[in-house]
Structure 1
Amino acid sequence: MPKALFILTSHDTLGDTGKPTGFYWEELAAPYWILSDAGWQIELASIKGGKPPADPSSAEGDAMTDEVRRLLADEAVMNKLENTTKVEDVEVSGCDIVFLPGGHGTMWDLPNSKALGDLLGRAFDKGAVVGAVCHGPAGLLSARLASGDPLVHGRRVAGFTNSEEDAVGLSDVVPFMLEDQLKAQGGHHQKGPDWQPFAIADGNLVTGQNPASSAEVARLMLKAADLPTAP
């Protein structure tokens, strides 16, 4: 059975606002079920281990999708989510996909995790598919390849856009603008219309722009996993 590793944020506060944040449910749920239903074993990890925080707004209104409901109702999955492995203790060998769901929390802890950066670099160098959606690509900023280059350098990459950050009113709250930093590391940033599904694969790197892109990211990761090696 092929294996995928999902790595979640452990950060729970939006800067100095006192408002809660964390991972975004849809960006976990849709890829989880697409891969699981395709026969993949999925392991869950987080930066600090244990139960990662979820953005409460991602389980309300239109954000409460059928996939999220299915996840919340699945006792086995929720038990795994209560007991995620600390990223420093993860064994990435044998994982064919490493995926970073988004949520604003990722902007604070994923880019500052050396353990995550080392894991992603090793996985990509060995030919694993590395995927991320929405704010999840913030975790790619910590990753360097054996060559010393940033993982995103010279590759097409998507992520939450400056205009989308402006639209949610958090441009002055987040520690940096994700689109700008992906470009600063040499990524060829691409995007679609705000809030519409947009995902791209550049070899074994698969990224998506926003929550609406999470299912397409999962489908592209499955397609990329059939590649014998990263280009």
Structure 2
Amino acid sequence: MNWIVVTLLVLALLAILTYLYLPAFLRLLGIHRHYTIPDFDMTGRRALMICTNHDRLDPLKRDTGAFGSEFTVPYYAFVNAGMEVDMASPKGGVIPIQPGSWSWPLACDDDKRFMADKKAMHDLKNSKAIADLDPNDYDVIFMAGGWGAAYDLMQSEELADFITRANASGKILGSVCHGALGLCSAKGLDGEPLVKGRRVTGVTNGQINTFGIAVTPKHPEEELRKLGAIYECQHAFRDPFATHTSIDGNLITGQNQNSGYETAHRILEKIATQRNV
């Protein structure tokens, strides 16, 4: 009987240690690795956070949506700098959340802050429709990923027009992971694809295959390469643990869910540089 008690105690201890230390271990490997964004004063500036409306991972019929940290991290980087931040989506209304991204062990501090923020949660459930917005009202347009974005960011004519006009006005265009798909249907000043000949990044095919979501209709690495972009990325022993940020003029893009911190940091640096011109 004693060996049963000992076994149960050992299993309980292992469960407790796993619960306490797995998030830290994942950070050590590269998931949401600690990154300090320096202080910026962007009072009076405005940012628009664009996320998906799509909530089903067809044809598997699993739930999907926006990946938490891919919008919460830049959201609070901008808020902390004094910016006003609006939430938007192709159709407006509810922005669904990628299952697991807001729970243990993946939820980061900014995810928890967002979930406790009444204004932020209200805006998440009542996002603005892209067709109702003017890009000239914003200094930064930022597109978050999550598997749902594979179904509507590149496919949205309203978003393509919005990003095309934002680029023509010299707005800073940012994205992470699948959010890069929101750049893919937009046009540059010459009428060619906006990303053609420009250095950009987004989630790798390797990461998509690791997560078993090749069933999604659009893959950022493939779409960016097809359009003639200079696709950049970093690899790790598994790509979900890698990160990379690409900067090309007004395009500042991050590779995946780990890249929100640096991508937001470089966007804030860009705004500060513009202010000093």
Q: State the TM bucket, normalised to the shorter chain.
A: over 0.9
**Segments of 4+ in structure 1 off by > 4 A?**
none
1:201 aligns with one of 233, 247, 266: 247
Q: Secondary structure at the match of 1:180?
A: helix
Task: Tell me how far apart the structure 1 counterparts of residues 219 and 136 of structure 2 sit (CA, whole Å).
Answer: 32
Q: Is the contact made by 2:50 and 2:88 (CA closer than 8 Å) also made in structure 1?
A: yes
Task: Tell me how far apart the structure 1 counterparts of residues 146 and 123 of structure 2 sit (CA, whole Å).
Answer: 19
Q: Does 1:226 align with 2:272?
A: yes
Q: Does 1:124 align with 2:167?
A: yes
Once the two structures are TM-superposed, the CA of residue 226 in structure 1 deviates from its matched residue by 3.3
Q: Deviations over 1:132-187 (max 9, x none)?
A: 0011001111211232111111110110001111111112x111332011011111
The structure that is helix-richer by fraction is 2
> Which residue of the partner structure matches residue 41 of structure 2?
none
> Which residue of the partner structure matches residue 164 of structure 1?
207
> Which residue of the partner structure matches residue 27 of structure 1?
70
Q: Deviations over 1:35-61 (max 9, x none)?
A: 100011101111111111111221122
Once the two structures are TM-superposed, the CA of residue 77 in structure 1 deviates from its matched residue by 1.0
> Which residue of the partner structure matches residue 15 of structure 1?
58
Once the two structures are TM-superposed, the CA of residue 197 in structure 1 deviates from its matched residue by 2.3
Q: Is the contact made by 1:128 and 1:225 (CA closer than 8 Å) also made in structure 2?
A: no
Task: Tell me how far apart the structure 2 counterparts of residues 226 and 148 of structure 1 sit (CA, whole Å).
Answer: 29
In the superposition, the TM-score normalised over structure 1's length comes to: 0.95
Q: Is the contact made by 1:200 and 1:220 (CA closer than 8 Å) also made in structure 2?
A: no
Q: Does 1:144 align with 2:187?
A: yes
Once the two structures are TM-superposed, the CA of residue 227 in structure 1 deviates from its matched residue by 4.5
Once the two structures are TM-superposed, the CA of residue 108 in structure 1 deviates from its matched residue by 0.7
Q: Deviations over 1:49-83 (max 9, x none)?
A: 11111112211223211110000001111111121
In the superposition, the TM-score normalised over structure 2's length comes to: 0.80
Give the AA of the match of 2:93: G
Give the AA of the match of 1:111: M
Q: Secondary structure at the match of 1:57?
A: coil
Q: Does 1:186 align with 2:228?
A: yes
> Which residue of the partner structure matches residue 216 of structure 2?
174
Once the two structures are TM-superposed, the CA of residue 30 in structure 1 deviates from its matched residue by 0.5
2:116 aligns with one of 46, 65, 73: 73
Q: Does 1:42 align with 2:85?
A: yes
Once the two structures are TM-superposed, the CA of residue 125 in structure 1 deviates from its matched residue by 1.4
Give the AA of the match of 1:212: N
Q: Secondary structure at the match of 1:5?
A: strand
Sequence identity, in percent? 36
Once the two structures are TM-superposed, the CA of residue 34 in structure 1 deviates from its matched residue by 0.6
Task: Tell me how far apart the structure 2 counterparts of residues 179 and 133 of structure 1 sit (CA, whole Å).
Answer: 12
Q: Is the contact made by 2:177 and 2:220 (CA closer than 8 Å) also made in structure 1?
A: no
